[in-house]
Amino acid sequence: MTELKIDATAPPANERLPLLIFGLGYSSRAVIRAQRGSARSIVATVRSPERAAALTASGVEGRAVTVLAFDGTSLSPELAAAIGEAGEVLVSAPPDETGDPVLKVCAAALAAHPPKAVAYLSTVGVYGDHQGGWVDETTECRPVSARSVERLEAERAWAAFGRAHGVPVALLRLSGIYGPGNNALVNVARGTARRIIKPGQVFNRIHVDDIAQAVLASLDKRFDGIVNVTDDEPSPAQDVVAYAAELLGLPVPPDIPFEASGLSEMGRSFYGECKRVRNERLKGELSVNLLHPNFTVALRALAAGGDGRQRQEFR
């Protein structure tokens, strides 16, 4: 069984340390959004120097954020300085076939100035296929896709870094991510939603605002170990599309048998794995009270916020 450790000396949540985010994407933006009004200083990275400059000037999610360029190949003096000042680190940048880009380039700098806590965003894809059975954080990982193999290797590398330098590392395994601007309501409204039917197939999901809750809780608690960040109700994908259409008063898209779906190789790989993911550790050890425990609650809230009523762009 995976050993769990929570640092009893962790500071109160209102004593926020400087946060360094590697990879300013959809999930990490939600973490920033959740801290509106906080005095915490935030530095984040994107790949392009031009985009970094534009985001620093405009702000991110209504907050002043220093955005630096990091393409996974070199460490700039500015990023080295940010590592030296960071109290907590969120890693949202994906690995590739050569490994985790942050550790490849920044491991020495991080070791010289160890943060108080690290949160690493991984995926439940590391469990592989369990033929619809339930999995938890103690379940054997047997990833199938190359991207899930890379994630598991990155998890192990971050856990090893944490052990070597006395840094608690929360390995947060995320289910399918959705939220404002990126959900079945938007897809139905655009006419791109498809109800692909594969008997017995279910997926877990997680609203991006609940990812933000999990990240901040893991940093606050100085959590060390694995946590599934997922909703309460694994459900067939076609049920989500049908419910979104009903909320919008639009026709439910027709059934499409999986064999006739014409999915890409990546799309087919998602349907090649089936599992039900438990979240007791998320709600127990991290004390996260899910804002969106299932897709019906979430889609009603998203519809009330305007999603699906007008053309949405993925942010």
CA distance 35 to 16: 10
Any idea which of 26-30, 143-147, 274-278, 309-313 has the lowest mean pLDDT? 309-313
CA distances 189 to 135, 182, 306, Å, are: 34, 12, 11
- pLDDT value at residue 11: 53
- pLDDT value at residue 2: 46
- pLDDT value at residue 313: 39
- pLDDT value at residue 6: 53
- pLDDT value at residue 312: 40
CA distance 80 to 108: 10
* pLDDT at residue 156 is higher than 70: yes
One-letter amino acid identity for 305? Answer: G
- The larger pLDDT score, comparing residue 198 to residue 311, is at 198
> Does 257 reside within a domain?
no
One-letter amino acid identity for 63? Answer: R
Residue 31 and residue 22 in contact, taking contact as beta carbons nearer than 8 Å: no
* pLDDT at residue 310 is higher than 80: no
Q: Summarize pLDDT for 202-232 with one digit per residue, the tens.
A: 999 999 999 999 999 999 999 999 999 999 9
Q: Summarize pLDDT for 193-210 with one digit per residue, the tens.
A: 999 999 999 999 999 999
Q: Tell me the CATH number at 174.
A: 3.40.50.720
> Does 137 reside within a domain?
yes
> Does 218 reside within a domain?
yes
Can you tell me the mean pLDDT for 37-56? 95
> Does 301 reside within a domain?
no
Q: Which domain holds residue 100?
A: 5-182+204-231+278-290
CA distance 11 to 244: 42
Q: Summarize pLDDT for 240-296 with one digit per residue, the tens.
A: 999 999 999 999 999 999 999 998 988 888 899 999 999 999 999 999 999 999 999
Can you tell me the mean pLDDT for 56-82? 97
CA distance 267 to 69: 31
* pLDDT at residue 16 is higher than 80: no
For residue 166, the 8-state DSSP code is T
> Does 117 reside within a domain?
yes
Can you tell me the mean pLDDT for 128-152? 96
- pLDDT value at residue 311: 43
> Does 313 reside within a domain?
no
Q: Which tokens is 100 given?
A: 């985790």
CA distance 257 to 224: 42
Can you tell me the mean pLDDT for 183-192? 97
Can you tell me the mean pLDDT for 102-117? 98
* pLDDT at residue 174 is higher than 90: yes
> Does 162 reside within a domain?
yes
Can you tell me the mean pLDDT for 28-47? 94
Q: Summarize pLDDT for 162-172 with one digit per residue, the tens.
A: 999 999 999 99
What is the chain's mean pLDDT, rounded? 93
Q: Which tokens is 136 given?
A: 């938890």
> Does 24 reside within a domain?
yes
* pLDDT at residue 14 is higher than 60: no
* pLDDT at residue 9 is higher than 90: no
One-letter amino acid identity for 53? Answer: A
Percent of the chain with pLDDT over 90: 88
* pLDDT at residue 314 is higher than 70: no
* pLDDT at residue 181 is higher than 80: yes
- For the chain, how many structural domains are there in total? 1
